[in-house]
């Protein structure tokens, strides 16, 4: 009887020990699982894009990709994207490999959104421990030249100074850059402004052709560029050339006159010819060929100007003698004179002014 009691007692002890061992093992397994869940789903989810407080410039339906990686003991994970608290996409991803979830609804331009990821290994799930924020902005900022810009597009100037003023507008405005370039493409000046309205004055510019553009950027990296604004600085007058051929002639003979100019900026300067006799009070515009009608010394003037209003003149001398016809016909002039004096042959003027007839 005692032997039976001893056996029963031994079995009871073994049963109690077994229960104790099972309980300890279960606790360890539970602790390990909880640790794995925390490690896998909270600390080892790496967000690639979009970053927190970032801007999306391509936020249209089914095109915005939320990329990340999950690092843990499992080979694959199921990931669900939540935007503003609602599931908006899911994907199955490999362990340690950067992957993405694409939105399955349209993101509205100008709106702010919150998002997080829910990651599951098929048994348990956890979410990213940070809620991220992004803003959708697909619109280009507005930018234009301001009316206080001191010179019009495609203008010419000679003082080397002009002002460019601009106005920009955008809810997520970043900055505006004003670029001044030479016509050969070289950058003369680039100035960045953080204000939405400003101006810049360029001073002492060398002769040449310049272009100006204003580029505005927003925080979503959308950019807008004004139409190219051109201006020409020209403080140098054209170089005129005048020619008279022949430079000595007679009344009634044809003379070829020429007026031309060269200019580094203006390829077609304006030219004009004018002429006057030595003691005349003003010049008279003429064209070539020119036929003088009066003998004397003439000054031939060539006047040139460029698009910037710079002008110059040069002059040449033309000597005109009496024509051989008028010389031999001095009788004709004399005749006239004689004709006038012939009446005095018949009529004599007295000292008192009365006319007396010859006997």
How is the chain split into domains, by residue range?
44-136, 142-233, 239-327
- In three-state secondary structure terms, 75 is coil
> For 267, which DSSP code?
S
Give the dihedral of Cα atoms 90, 93, 96, 97; nearest 10 deg. Answer: -100
What is the distance in angstroms between the CA of the first residue and the CA of the last residue of the chain? Answer: 209
Question: What is the arithmetic mean of pLDDT over 136-153?
Answer: 91
Confidence of residue 104 (pLDDT cuts 50, 70, 90): confident
Confidence of residue 107 (pLDDT cuts 50, 70, 90): confident
Contact 308, 277 (CB under 8 A): no
44-136, what's its fold?
A: Immunoglobulin-like (2.60.40)
Whole-number pLDDT of residue 56:
84
Whole-number pLDDT of residue 184:
83
Whole-number pLDDT of residue 15:
61
Domain 142-233 part of CATH 2.60.40.10: yes
Q: Out of 60-64, 138-142, 147-151, 162-166, which region has the weakest mean confidence (pLDDT)?
A: 60-64
Question: Is the pLDDT assigned to residue 137 strictly greater than 60?
Answer: yes
Confidence of residue 18 (pLDDT cuts 50, 70, 90): low
Question: What is the arithmetic mean of pLDDT over 86-113?
Answer: 88
Please determine whether the domains at 44-136 and 239-327 fall in the same fold group of CATH: yes
- In three-state secondary structure terms, 275 is strand
- Average confidence score pLDDT of the chain: 81
> For 247, which DSSP code?
S
Whole-number pLDDT of residue 4:
64
Tens of pLDDT, residue by residue over 303-329, are: 999 999 999 999 999 999 997 654 444
Choose from 55-59, 129-133, 316-320 the range with maximum mean pLDDT: 316-320
Whole-number pLDDT of residue 245:
98
Whole-number pLDDT of residue 1:
61
Whole-number pLDDT of residue 329:
41
> CB within 8 A of 208, min separation 6: which ones?
182, 183, 232, 233, 265
Confidence of residue 64 (pLDDT cuts 50, 70, 90): confident
Question: Is the pLDDT assigned to residue 21 strictly greater than 90?
Answer: no
**Options 2.40.160.40, 2.60.40.10, 2.70.98.60, 1.10.287.4070; which CATH number does 239-327 get?**
2.60.40.10
- In three-state secondary structure terms, 324 is helix
> CB within 8 A of 300, min separation 6: which ones?
242, 244, 257, 273, 274, 275, 315, 316, 317, 318
Question: What is the arithmetic mean of pLDDT over 325-352?
Answer: 36
Question: What is the arithmetic mean of pLDDT over 287-291?
Answer: 97
Tens of pLDDT, residue by residue over 155-212, are: 999 999 999 999 999 999 999 999 999 988 899 999 999 999 999 999 999 999 999 9
Tens of pLDDT, residue by residue over 220-232, are: 999 999 988 899 9
Confidence of residue 109 (pLDDT cuts 50, 70, 90): confident
Question: What is the arithmetic mean of pLDDT over 129-142?
Answer: 89
Q: What is the pTM of this model?
A: 0.64
DSSP H helical ranges for the chain: 2-38, 324-328, 330-346
Top-confidence residue, 21 or 340: 21
Q: Which DSSP string corresponds to 79-148?
A: EEEEETTEEEEEEEEETT--EEEE-SSPPPTT-EEEEEEEEE-SS-EEE-SS-EEEEE--SPPEEEE-TT
> For 290, which DSSP code?
B
Task: Tell me the percentage of the chain whose pLDDT exceeds 90.
Answer: 57
């Amino acid at each position: 009887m005692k032997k039976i009691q001893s056996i029963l007692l031994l079995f009871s002890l073994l049963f109690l020990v077994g229960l104790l061992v099972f309980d300890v093992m279960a606790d360890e397994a539970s602790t390990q699982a909880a640790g794995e869940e925390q490690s896998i789903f909270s600390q080892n989810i790496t967000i690639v894009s979009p970053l927190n407080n970032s801007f999306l410039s391509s936020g249209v339906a089914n095109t915005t990709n939320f990329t990340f990686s999950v690092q843990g003991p499992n080979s694959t994970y199921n990931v669900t994207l939540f935007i503003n608290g609602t599931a908006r996409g899911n994907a199955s991803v490999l362990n340690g490999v950067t992957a993405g979830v694409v939105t399955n609804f349209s993101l509205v331009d100008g709106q702010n959104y919150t998002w997080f990821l829910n990651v599951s290994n098929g048994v348990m799930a956890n979410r990213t421990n940070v809620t991220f924020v992004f803003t959708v902005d697909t619109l280009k900022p507005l930018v234009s030249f301001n009316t206080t810009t001191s010179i019009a597009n495609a203008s010419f100037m000679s003082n080397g100074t002009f002002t460019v003023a601009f106005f920009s507008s955008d809810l997520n405005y970043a900055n505006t850059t004003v670029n001044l370039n030479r016509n050969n493409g070289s950058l003369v000046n680039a100035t960045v402004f953080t204000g939405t309205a400003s101006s810049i004055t360029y001073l002492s510019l060398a002769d040449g052709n310049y272009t100006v553009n204003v580029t505005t950027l927003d925080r979503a990296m959308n950019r807008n560029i004004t139409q190219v604004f051109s201006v020409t600085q020209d403080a140098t007058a054209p170089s005129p050339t005048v020619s008279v051929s022949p430079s000595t002639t007679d009344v009634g003979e044809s003379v070829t006159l020429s007026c031309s100019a060269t200019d580094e900026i203006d390829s077609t300067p304006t030219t004009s010819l004018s002429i006057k006799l030595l003691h005349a009070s003003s010049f008279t515009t003429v064209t070539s060929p020119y036929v003088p009608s009066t003998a004397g010394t003439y000054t031939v003037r060539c006047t040139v100007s460029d698009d910037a209003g710079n002008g110059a003149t040069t002059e040449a001398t033309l000597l005109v003698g009496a024509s051989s016809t008028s010389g031999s016909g001095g009788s004709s002039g004399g005749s006239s004179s004689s004709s006038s004096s012939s009446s005095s042959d018949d009529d004599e003027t007295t000292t008192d002014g009365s006319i007396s007839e010859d006997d």
